[in-house]
Amino acid sequence: MAAMLEINGITVRYGAIEALHNVSMSVDEGDVVALIGANGAGKSTLLKAIVNQVSLQEGSISFKGEVVSTAEKHKKSVPTHLLSQRGIALVPEGRHVFADMTVEENLDMGAFLVKDPVAVAKKKEEMYDFFPILGARRKQKTRSLSGGEQQMMAIARALMSSPHLILLDEPGLGLAPLVVQDIFNKIHLINQQDKVTVFLVEQNARMALKASNKGYCLENGNIVLADSSDALLRNDKVRAAYLGE
């Protein structure tokens, strides 16, 4: 499979603090790739760098063979909203739903760049079929949903733009184990049935590695391990540091 996303030696700093240092990795088309690491390792910063919400001090990021973010001063990075048009969708940590809007209105926000109202209506019905609880709650204010339901809605909102690559930042954060399992079952279907490539950032290393076919471990802004997910699940360092074994 060809690399859909390539991250080439990127460094990101917040003032004097280096959040990412010389990070390189790739996500192949059709894969589910997991990025694991402790709180503060730089995982969310990496996702923000991919969608140009933070600037690179070094390196570049390519999507489908085209450089979309770069530290080179004479080249321009692609704005976040145009990356959405090109097929990248981000589900941020904490969901960031519009609490005073209905489920349906939130889904509409996910399709704000889609100009065809018939296509938007069709996509919404697909999301209601995929997440039946959202169909049942389509006219409810989002604040009335449970945490798991809000997470499903955040994923559905991202899928409204029919992305080729979806970035998921801590989709299981703060949710009950059964709800987390349901979310991860949906992620599997998104990848297998809808053919959407998935880049998954998750602190629950066991869940993330079981759900993916390739994994990276980020520590203090550095990639310290990269292998198949099965191999990482058997890795002594991963087992000791992230799996509690």
* Structure confidence by residue, pLDDT tens digits, 167-208: 999 998 888 899 999 999 999 999 999 999 999 998 889 999
Residue 204, C-beta contacts closer than 8 angstroms, at least 6 positions apart: 172, 180
- How far is it, in rounded angstroms, from Cα 88 to Cα 212? 19
- How far is it, in rounded angstroms, from Cα 211 to Cα 45? 22
Residue 17, C-beta contacts closer than 8 angstroms, at least 6 positions apart: none
User: How high is the pLDDT of residue 1?
Assistant: 58
Query: By percentage, how much of the chain surpasses pLDDT 70?
Result: 99
Is the CB of residue 56 less than 8 Å from the CB of residue 13?
A: no
SS (H, E, C) the chain: CCEEEEEEEEEEEECCEEEEEEEEEEEECCCEEEEECCCCCCHHHHHHHHCCCCCCCEEEEEECCEEEEECCCCCCCCCHHHHHHHCEEEECCCCCCCCCCEHHHHHHHHCCCCCCHHHHHHHHHHHHHHCHHHHHCCCCEHHHCCHHHHHHHHHHHHHCCCCCEEEEECCCCCCCHHHHHHHHHHHHHHHHCCCCEEEEECCCHHHHHHHCCEEEEEECCEEEEEEEHHHHHHCHHHHHHCCCC
Q: What pLDDT digit, counting tens, does each position of 111-145 carry?
A: 988 889 999 999 999 999 999 999 999 999 999 99
User: How high is the pLDDT of residue 10?
Assistant: 97
Q: What is the mean pLDDT of the chain?
A: 93
Is the CB of residue 200 less than 8 Å from the CB of residue 212?
A: yes
Query: By percentage, how much of the chain surpasses pLDDT 90?
Result: 80
pTM: 0.93
Q: How far is CA 146 from CA 110, 155, 180, 197, in A?
A: 20, 14, 13, 27
User: How high is the pLDDT of residue 159?
Assistant: 95
Q: What pLDDT digit, counting tens, does each position of 43-76 carry?
A: 999 999 999 999 999 999 999 999 999 998 878 8
The residue among 1, 13, 4 whose CA lies nearest residue 167 is 4
Query: What is the maximal distance between C-alpha atoms in the chain?
Result: 52
User: How high is the pLDDT of residue 228?
Assistant: 97
- How far is it, in rounded angstroms, from Cα 27 to Cα 157? 22
pLDDT band at 109 (very low <50, low <70, confident <90, very high): very high
